[in-house]
Amino acid sequence: MPSTTNAPSGRQSGKKKGRRARLLVIVLVLAVVAGIGYGAYWGVDSVRASLPQTTGSVQLDGLDGPVQVKRDSYGIPQIYASTDEDLFMAQGFVQAQDRFYEMDVRRHTTSGRLSEMFGKGQVKTDEFLRTLGWHRVAQREYDSTLSPATKKYLQAYSKGVNAYLAGKSGKAVSAEYVALGFENDYKPQKWTPVDSVAWLKAMAWDLRGNMQDEIDRSLMTSRLSAKQIKDLYPQYPYDRHQPIVQEGGYNSVTQSYEPTASGGQTQSGTSGAAGTGLAGGTQAPTGLQSQLGGLADVLDQIPDSAGLGPNGNGIGSNSWVVSGNHTITGKPLLANDPHLAPQLPSVWYQMGLHCTSVSAKCQYDVTGYTFAGMPGVVIGHNQSISWGLTNSGADVTDLYLERFDGDGYQYGGKTVPFKTHEEVIKVAGGAAKTITVRETNNGPLLSDRNDELVKVGKKAPVGATAPDRGDGYGIALRWTALDPGTTMDAVFEIDKAKDWSEFREAAADFQVPSQNLTYADVEGNIGYQLPGRIPLRGEGDGSLPAPGWDADYKWTGYIKQAELPYEYNPKRGYIVTANQAVVGKDYPHTLTTDWGYGTRSQRITDLIKSKIDGGGKISTDDMRTMQMDNSSEIAKLLVPKLLKIDVKDKYVRQAQQLLENWDYTQNPDSAAAAYFNSVWRNVLKLAFGNKLPKELRVEGQCLSVTPVDNTGPADEDRKVRECGQRDAHSAQPDGGDRWFEVVRKIIDDEKNGWWQTPGSRNNDPTTTRDQLFKRAMDDARWDLTAKLGKDIDTWSWGRLHKLELKNQTLGTEGPGWLQYVLNRGPWKLGGGEAAVNATGWNAAGGYGVDWVPSMRMVVNLADLDKSKWINLTGASGHTYSAHYTDQTDKWVKGELLPWHFTAKSVGAATSDTLVLKP
């Protein structure tokens, strides 16, 4: 039981609360006076009850010695301890102070227990999450694969969280519990080490690779030919966009990856089976479209409440490192900004973990970004090295079409029984529900989690190679994260690595998710390593669902660590990772068929080269400026052609004229950027979107189309009204750089079939590129007139492209006044899809911001105290705290905060000090 002394009035120094915090208290009080409640009512005592103590002292049983927690003016904590266990125990205590409600929601997500907090509306989500079994796998991971040291640190962290929770009611932990009606009777369950490990599974799901593309390609077969699908998944443009590894090696043999100009390769683009619906060229069962459409619906239900967003083209990140030969400081600079769905509070938590004296009993002096609920630092630097992460896009998931046969499934010509177990889902305010989870040798049956899915496919015809009997089909998931791994070990190992050798050794344990690791050290070295458990396949390349009954399509192992690509001190003096191809075409293994297409990476490379080639040296501020680059690469391709179109309508001509002197920069105040992005959205809709099956189009958007079962010339004019079914955040065409490449490939083919569109009541058919472009320009003019007004002088990209930060539970489902209290925004943003400043938006769904640089950092290896960082929101998860969103305005402007590291620098910046005593 912790005890406190010298706690300030209100439990937190009030110096920085500010006008917004006072306003929130007033709003809450007025809500109570008005008799408006959600669960229990909120009063002033509820508002103040959970403010964390940040000065004075607290007694914590279990500490070996005193621990200091120093916070700067932004509430960012730096912890000083004399043993590893004390350090991580204090980390658990401090994170629980700031973010426990977020941590609690996350663990209910990863364990499939959201219904226990939020009621019957979350049962379907819990069913799916229980089927995936993140928490079950995390338990196996903790029991069987993690090192004794890692377990010790996880236990210490849990002890710290539980020390904070001891004796507290829901009201004393977070105001959200009061709003939920959990004021005094709610006693948060104790935190466990497995709760921390399970969060890594959630992040791996967010970064799982090409599973959505695999689903989408198969769904496209209902309306598009194999050739058309191949058009929509073009090969990686090696002739224009360099891979990450250009001078590196694998398997201890230095090898140069020199792409050829032909563009033919095996590492990206789709295989020859693309568009046939099933890997290997087998004709897909007609029920497969229903199976995968239902699966896509289930995926859309996965909540954002734990940091999980829809998996799509926008998920990515930028990280690059420049050697001292090209920097003002003479030592490396390393930048990183991971792109994730916006969260409130941010998915990241900034902090420093410092041993007062680094020794065998206290090994850490590290600072950076971590996740609330997990010990250690995920991205950042220690006293010797710095590292960044971006998503590699490695294909670590495969969907398998399983042929049912009674109580089993067919495999290798035999019927094999399902592996089954029951899961009991408790529901707040309702009866518990029991489900049966079924697994094949490929993994859990995701298709069981949708009522419609169990009905389809029982009579689905398949090709001659498929089993000819059975009770239907299902979809199973094979995913590397569903096997116990060692990534948690890697976090602690990287945090204390001293050089390239120790860093690579630690990276070998970073199994899931597979990430691009950038590296720099104080000795002046830079490097790159691809880690991860990446599967080897017998047949197929992972681009389409595989026939589960065919043993030839099983996974045969994983790429050996020694065979994974790396670079160390390349002659060019810099390494750029932005989700582009990792390697060239000569690499002997298939990493994925679905890289990002290199738009951001090439822009970053060009910015670096322009500085170097001009004889300049790169500064920390240059790195920051590059992170905020708003250039639109697709605009550079399309605008010259749009300006040549003869526009008769004077209002459309006014809009066209906006593009005449535009520099292709998507600043928030740019009217040209607003108009161009609307034109781009309408080009995509007309040329591609309206031709996609309903499962990929935005829910509620309806078209008159020829039925899929149209069988003959007599039915060619028969039309039906068909409405989209996909969530707006994951619908297609999303407008990312895959679509840049699709359009680039056909841009000079003015009569390409994709430019052909049917007529409508208001428009003639189009048969050429310029006819379609003209129609898109017309549609964009009237779209923006409706959204921004008739006067183009009032238009701006930021008025369309807004960031709204929402508390991902009550901020989306609570009453209006509560949403006002919990949510923030909107902010008008620049940037856009596939810009370096990757404020992503889905062109099929609208202009709002779906993805953001979730944090930004620039590490200065010459003087670590001159490094810079920023978070999307703030250190606190308490809505009334001064540190709830106190970094957001600076984040929007592209500003960075000082990143204090040494004891002297931290001490000079300290505003509050809390002492944790044994």
Strand partners, 80: 68, 354
Strands 419-425 and 433-440: antiparallel
Helix locations, 426-550, DSSP H: 487-495, 500-507
CA–CA gap between residue 804 and residue 820 (Å, rounded):
12
**Most confident stretch, 256-265, 537-546, 778-787, 817-826:** 778-787
SS3 at position 501 = helix
The pLDDT score that the predictor gives to residue 308 is 47
Residues 6+ apart with CB under 8 A from 730: 212, 296, 299, 300, 310, 311, 312, 842
* Cα–Cα nearest to 510, from 531, 496, 481: 531
SS3 at position 303 = coil
The pLDDT score that the predictor gives to residue 803 is 98
pLDDT at residue 548 is higher than 90: yes
- Asked whether the beta carbons of 110 and 129 are under 8 A apart, the reply is yes
Residues 6+ apart with CB under 8 A from 130: 112, 423, 425, 435, 437
Q: How far is CA 668 from the centre of its chain?
A: 23
CA–CA gap between residue 840 and residue 600 (Å, rounded):
12
pLDDT at residue 597 is higher than 60: yes
Least confident of 72-86, 325-339, 693-707: 693-707
> Other CB atoms closer than 10 Å to residue 254's CB: what's the count?
9
Phi, psi of 27 (to 5 degrees): -60, -45
Q: Token pair of 331, please? A: 């030592």
CA–CA gap between residue 41 and residue 28 (Å, rounded):
9
Predicted TM-score (pTM) of the model is 0.92
Strands 77-81 and 349-355: parallel
Q: How far is CA 794 from the centre of its chain?
A: 34
pLDDT at residue 192 is higher than 50: yes
Q: Hey, what long-range contacts does 756-760 have (CB within 8 A, 24 or more apart)?
A: 757/686, 757/687, 757/690
Q: Token pair of 374, please? A: 């997990």
C-alpha triplet 833, 622, 827: angle, nearest 5°: 45
Residue 457's pLDDT band, with cuts at 50, 70 and 90, is very low
Least confident of 15-24, 529-538, 693-702: 15-24
- Identify the DSSP state of 691: G
Residue 717's pLDDT band, with cuts at 50, 70 and 90, is low
CA–CA gap between residue 87 and residue 269 (Å, rounded):
47
The pLDDT score that the predictor gives to residue 823 is 95
Least confident of 42-51, 424-433, 807-816: 42-51
- Asked whether the beta carbons of 306 and 371 are under 8 A apart, the reply is no
Strand partners, 318: 337
> Other CB atoms closer than 10 Å to residue 391's CB: what's the count?
23
Strand partners, 420: 438
Strand partners, 398: 478
Q: Rounded to the nearest 10 degrees, what angle do helices 193-206 and 134-144 cross at?
A: 120
Burial pattern 482-501, b for ≥16 Cβ within 10 A else e, equals: bbbbbbbbbbbbbbbbeebe
Q: What is the pLDDT of residues 23-64, one digit of tens each?
A: 444 444 444 334 334 444 555 566 667 889 999 999 999 999
Amino acid at 877: G
The pLDDT score that the predictor gives to residue 265 is 33
Q: What is the pLDDT of residues 476-531, one digit of tens each?
A: 999 999 999 999 999 999 999 999 999 999 999 999 999 999 999 999 999 999 99
Residue 301's pLDDT band, with cuts at 50, 70 and 90, is low
Q: Token pair of 403, please? A: 């042929």
Q: Tell me what percent of the chain is helix, strand and coil, each rounded to the nearest 5.
A: 35, 20, 45
* Cα–Cα nearest to 878, from 376, 374, 372, 378: 372
The pLDDT score that the predictor gives to residue 280 is 64
- Identify the DSSP state of 690: G
Least confident of 135-144, 399-408, 683-692: 399-408
Residue 19's pLDDT band, with cuts at 50, 70 and 90, is very low
CA–CA gap between residue 555 and residue 398 (Å, rounded):
9
pLDDT at residue 6 is higher than 50: no
pLDDT at residue 305 is higher than 70: no
Question: Which three-class secondary structure string do you get for 80-133?
Answer: EECCHHHHHHHHHHHHHHHHHHHHHHHHHHHCCCHHHHHCHHHHHHHHHHHHHC
Q: Comparing 20 with 673, which gets the higher pLDDT?
A: 673
Q: What is the pLDDT of residues 650-660, one digit of tens each?
A: 999 999 999 99
Least confident of 753-767, 805-819, 834-848: 805-819
Q: What is the pLDDT of residues 249-282, one digit of tens each?
A: 765 333 433 333 333 333 333 333 344 567 766 5
The pLDDT score that the predictor gives to residue 499 is 98
Residues 6+ apart with CB under 8 A from 201: 110, 134, 135, 137, 138, 481, 512
CA–CA gap between residue 797 and residue 123 (Å, rounded):
39
CA–CA gap between residue 140 and residue 195 (Å, rounded):
12
Q: Comparing 586 with 16, which gets the higher pLDDT?
A: 586
Burial class of 147 by CB neighbour count within 10 A (0 to 12, 13 to 18, 19+): middle
Q: How far is CA 901 from the centre of its chain?
A: 28
- Asked whether the beta carbons of 502 and 374 are under 8 A apart, the reply is no
- Asked whether the beta carbons of 166 and 158 are under 8 A apart, the reply is no
pLDDT at residue 852 is higher than 70: yes
Q: What is the pLDDT of residues 860-915, one digit of tens each?
A: 999 999 999 999 999 999 998 999 999 999 999 999 999 999 999 999 999 999 99
pLDDT at residue 800 is higher than 70: yes
pLDDT at residue 405 is higher than 50: yes
Q: How far is CA 323 from the centre of its chain?
A: 28
pLDDT at residue 715 is higher than 90: no
Q: Comparing 798 with 543, which gets the higher pLDDT?
A: 798
Residue 787's pLDDT band, with cuts at 50, 70 and 90, is very high
- Asked whether the beta carbons of 398 and 218 are under 8 A apart, the reply is no
CA–CA gap between residue 399 and residue 516 (Å, rounded):
24
Residue 760's pLDDT band, with cuts at 50, 70 and 90, is confident
C-alpha triplet 733, 734, 738: angle, nearest 5°: 85
Average pLDDT score, the chain: 87
Q: What is the pLDDT of residues 198-228, one digit of tens each?
A: 999 988 887 776 788 888 898 898 899 999 9
Residues 6+ apart with CB under 8 A from 253: none
CA–CA gap between residue 581 and residue 600 (Å, rounded):
12
The sign of the CA dihedral 677, 679, 684, 685 is positive
The pLDDT score that the predictor gives to residue 709 is 55
The percent of residues above 70 in pLDDT, for the chain, comes to 84
The pLDDT score that the predictor gives to residue 211 is 82
* Cα–Cα nearest to 373, from 514, 192, 511: 192
pLDDT at residue 293 is higher than 80: no
Element (H, E) at 912: strand 912-917
